[in-house]
């Protein structure tokens, strides 16, 4: 099964949630995703998603000095991003409950 389309939408919601918790940069987002089970996510996967979220005006980016070299691009949620995140969560709850209901006998 090609998981890429399914994952793209889920990752957008997860990325927004990570950014909502605190202003952060790309590598930190990848690390948090990997620590929470998205082990296949790499920076090459993340940056196109961040760019898309930025174009949709769901996040904003600011360059700030880094203690370890060149400036880093830090991301924050916009009001539209906050609204989108809450809409995502509502949709996710509905969808995951429906999927669970259909597969409940197959889930241990």
CA atoms lying within 13 Å on the CB side of residue 14? 19
65 CB contacts (<8 Å, ≥6 apart)? 71, 72
pTM: 0.89
Are the CB atoms for 28 and 43 separated by under 8 Å?
no
Structural domain boundaries in the chain: 4-103
| Tens-binned pLDDT, residue by residue, of the chain (108 aa) | 567 777 888 999 999 999 999 999 999 999 999 999 999 899 898 999 999 999 999 999 999 988 888 899 999 999 999 999 999 999 999 999 999 999 988 775
What CATH architecture is 4-103? Orthogonal Bundle (1.10)
């Amino acid at each position: 099964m090609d998981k890429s389309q399914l994952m793209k939408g889920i990752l957008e919601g997860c990325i927004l949630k990570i950014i909502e918790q605190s202003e952060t940069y790309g590598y930190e987002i990848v690390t948090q995703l990997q620590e929470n089970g998205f082990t296949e996510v790499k920076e090459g996967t993340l940056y196109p998603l961040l760019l898309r979220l930025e174009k949709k005006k769901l996040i904003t980016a600011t360059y700030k000095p880094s203690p370890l070299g060149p400036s880093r691009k830090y991301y924050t949620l916009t009001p539209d991003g906050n609204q989108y995140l809450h809409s995502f969560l509502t949709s996710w709850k509905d969808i995951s409950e429906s999927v669970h209901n259909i597969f409940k006998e197959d889930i241990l």
